[in-house]
A and B are shown apart, each in its own frame.
Chain A
Amino acid sequence: EPEVTQTPSHQVTQMGQEVILRCVPISNHLYFYWYRQILGQKVEFLVSFYNNEISEKSEIFDDQFSVERPDGSNFTLKIRSTKLEDSAMYFCASSDQWRGSKNIQYFGAGTRLSVL
């Protein structure tokens, strides 16, 4: 069964450092997303991406964040200068455009980011 793959599973970084979280969405999907979940809290939307551009972003997704689809398979989230409050689980998701499965977002296993 196709799945969304995220790497690494756990990333530890020092405050102020840049991190790149990587995702390989399901191959025939066209819509890509990043969400985050601070420990013990709900899942929050960060950004959606379609046709090589951001289609929507939340207030959390400030200038410190960026997304990119550098090739035909990867989808990345970059945090330029990490803060302590960026510590969270980051989930990548993808969905396709077909009516029968519209907006069903399939999630990866997540990357746990720990900022020290």
Chain B
Amino acid sequence: AQKVTQAQTEISVVEKEDVTLDCVYETRDTTYYLFWYKQPPSGELVFLIRRNSFDEQNEISGRYSWNFQKSTSSFNFTITASQVVDSAVYFCALSEGETSGSRLTFGEGTQLTVNP
């Protein structure tokens, strides 16, 4: 069965600090996809990134970067020079298998608060 664990329930930082959100996953499939979604206070879920299990290259997008390590089943998310607008709940998610239309299994989420 698939499972996603985000051990950090809440993180509070001061603006301009770097912050890393941890995500550990469990799956028996060799093909799977990992995701990060952002849920701002307004409540919608905003897609940030998708990685597949065959691509362990780290990715950077502006102030965001992701570190995927199959050896530790982790897919961590780092925000560099955090801003107040980054305050949100961040969810890591997993879908198994190669076929389209697979369910997402979400972690519990990490509430990030960036203080001015």
Contacts and interface: CB of A to CB of B under 8 A. Distances in A.
Contact of B107 (A33, A42, A48, A96): A42
B45 A42 contact: no
A110 interface: yes
Given A33-B103, A42-B109, A107-B47, 8 more contacts: A43-B45, A56-B102, A56-B103, A95-B100, A104-B47, A105-B104, A106-B47, A109-B44
Using C-beta atoms within 8 Å of the partner chain, give the interface range for chain B. 20 to 34
Given A43-B91, A43-B106, A89 B101 contact: no
B43 A89 contact: yes
Q: Which of A31, A96, A103, A110 has the most CB of B within 10 A?
A: A103
B63 interface: no
A89 B109 CA distance: 15
Contact of B47 (A43, A91, A105): A105
Q: Is the interface of A mostly helix, strand, loop or mixed?
A: strand
A9 to B, nearest CB: 9
Contacts of B43: 89, 109-110, 112
B50 A104 contact: yes
Interface string B83-114: 00000000101010000111111111100000
A10 to B, nearest CB: 11
Nearest to A46: B103
B91 A103 contact: no
A30 to B, nearest CB: 8
